[in-house]
Amino acid sequence: MASYSEAFVTPPPSQARARLMISADVSRRSHSAAFESRPRLPAARAGRDRSSGGLRPRMQDAPAAAALETIEDAQTAIVRAAETRDVDPDTVIEAIRLIEKSGGSKKPLEGRDSSQPKFDLLTDNGNWRLIFTTGDVKTQKKLGGKISYVPIKAVQVFNPDYTITNGVYLGSFPVLKFSGTFTWAEEKARLEFTFNEVGVLGLNFPYNQGESKVPPGFTFMDISDRYVIARGAGGGLALWLRQDTV
Q: pTM higher than 0.75, yes or no?
A: no
Q: What is the pLDDT of residue 176?
A: 97
34 pLDDT tier (thresholds 50, 70, 90): very low
The whole-angstrom distance between residue 91's C-alpha and the CA centroid of its chain comes to: 16
Q: What residue ranges do the domains of the chain occupy? A: 6-243
Measured distance CA(12)–CA(29) in Å, rounded: 20
pLDDT tens digits along 75-103: 999 999 999 999 999 999 999 999 998 87
Measured CA to CA in angstroms, residue 224 lies from 17, 43, 155 at distances of 36, 22, 17
The number of C-alpha atoms within 13 Å of 173 and in the hemisphere containing its C-beta is 6
Q: Is 80 helix (H, G, I), strand (E, B) or coil?
A: helix
Q: What is the pLDDT of residue 144?
A: 62
Whether the per-residue pLDDT at 42 is higher than 90: the answer is: no
Q: What is the pLDDT of residue 5?
A: 44
| CATH tag, 6-243 | 2.40.128.370
Count CB atoms within 10 A of the CB of residue 34: 13
Whether the per-residue pLDDT at 3 is higher than 60: the answer is: no
